[in-house]
């Protein structure tokens, strides 16, 4: 029997791991969409790259590094999480934390080549969250709620990530422009990169709650709880 939208929302809201997972995922999406939307402008303003070069280079980085990050994140989560469910989400917290220092290289390296090489790391590690975030959302919902749960998660990620990320960077860049001129976008992007650390914190918290929430799901289903 299909569950109502309100029932799915109430169920997910009762799971602390999902609440932290949704916050962490939306913040990770915030950073990701900000980079995706503003990196071309940054490369043109700061490094005088042509639109053709930017399109090819960013397409390769986002496609290859981003794809590797999604697959590697899912694979590592499966390997580590099978013995300790907390690692399904802790691996994301670690990946995002490791990626953060590389943003300084992306935005402050003096030439485009070096900046783009630095970008590979946060693009790859910054996409670790995607596979396991959706997978654990499915694990935290009964069968009749899973499609709606996935839709709710995607809605949250898009509202915060796509809806607020690029907009916030643009507004702050405009506010900083009188002081920093063409470099205002550089500083705005770097400021909002700190959001990644906030995201990592919520994935850490989500991991701490995950075993208990999965055990609750197993008990409700009459199955043995996971390790």
CATH code at position 215: 1.20.1250.20
Higher-pLDDT residue of 220, 130 = 130
pLDDT of 113 reads 95
pLDDT of 227 reads 45
The tally of domains found in the chain comes to 1
pLDDT of 26 reads 97
pLDDT of 152 reads 97
Specify if 126 maps to a domain.
yes
Specify if 225 maps to a domain.
no
Report pLDDT digits (tens) over 136-159.
Answer: 999 999 999 999 999 999 999 999
Report pLDDT digits (tens) over 48-60.
Answer: 999 999 999 999 9
Closest-CA residue to 186 (of 205, 196, 200, 172) = 172
Residue 226 has pLDDT above 50, yes or no: no
Specify if 22 maps to a domain.
yes
Specify if 71 maps to a domain.
yes
Specify if 80 maps to a domain.
yes
pLDDT of 219 reads 83
Q: With cut-offs at 50, 70 and 90, classify the pLDDT of residue 222.
A: low
Beta-carbon contacts of residue 58 (< 8 Å; ≥ 6 apart): 39, 40, 43
Report pLDDT digits (tens) over 1-16.
Answer: 678 999 999 999 999 9
Kindly tell me the burial class for residue 226, based on how many C-beta atoms sit within 10 Å of its own C-beta (0-12, 13-18, 19 or more). Answer: middle
Q: What is the DSSP letter of 158?
A: I
pLDDT of 144 reads 93
Report pLDDT digits (tens) over 66-77.
Answer: 999 999 999 999
Specify if 36 maps to a domain.
yes
How far does the chain reach from its first CA to its final CA, in angstroms?
A: 29
Specify if 226 maps to a domain.
no
Report pLDDT digits (tens) over 143-201.
Answer: 999 999 999 999 999 999 999 999 999 999 999 999 999 899 999 999 999 999 999 99
Report pLDDT digits (tens) over 77-124.
Answer: 999 999 999 999 999 999 999 999 999 999 999 999 999 999 999 999
Residue 88 contacts residue 213 (beta carbons within 8 Å): no
Specify if 137 maps to a domain.
yes
pLDDT of 167 reads 96
CB atoms within 10 A of CB 50: 10
- Which range marks the domain in which residue 187 is found? 5-220
Question: If you average pLDDT over every residue of the chain, what do you get?
Answer: 94
């Amino acid at each position: 029997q299909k569950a109502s939208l309100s029932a799915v929302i109430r169920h997910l809201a009762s799971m602390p791991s999902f609440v932290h997972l949704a916050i962490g995922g939306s913040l990770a999406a915030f950073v990701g969409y900000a980079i995706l939307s503003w990196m071309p402008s940054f490369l043109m303003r700061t490094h005088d790259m042509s639109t053709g070069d930017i399109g090819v280079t960013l397409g390769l980085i986002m496609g290859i590094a981003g794809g590797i990050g999604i697959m590697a994140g899912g694979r590592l989560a499966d390997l580590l999480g099978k013995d300790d469910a907390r690692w399904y989400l802790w691996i994301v917290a670690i990946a995002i934390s490791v990626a953060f220092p590389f943003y300084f290289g992306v935005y402050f390296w003096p030439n485009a080549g070096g900046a783009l090489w630095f970008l590979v790391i946060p693009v790859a590690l910054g996409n670790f969250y995607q596979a396991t975030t959706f997978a654990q959302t499915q694990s935290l919902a009964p069968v009749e709620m899973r499609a709606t749960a996935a839709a709710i998660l995607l809605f949250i990620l898009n509202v915060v990530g796509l809806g607020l990320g690029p907009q916030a960077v643009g507004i702050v860049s405009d506010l900083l422009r009188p002081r920093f001129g063409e470099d205002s976008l550089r500083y705005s992007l770097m400021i909002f990169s700190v959001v990644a650390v906030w995201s990592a914190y919520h994935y850490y918290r989500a991991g701490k709650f995950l075993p208990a929430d999965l055990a609750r799901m197993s008990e409700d289903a009459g199955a043995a709880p996971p390790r």
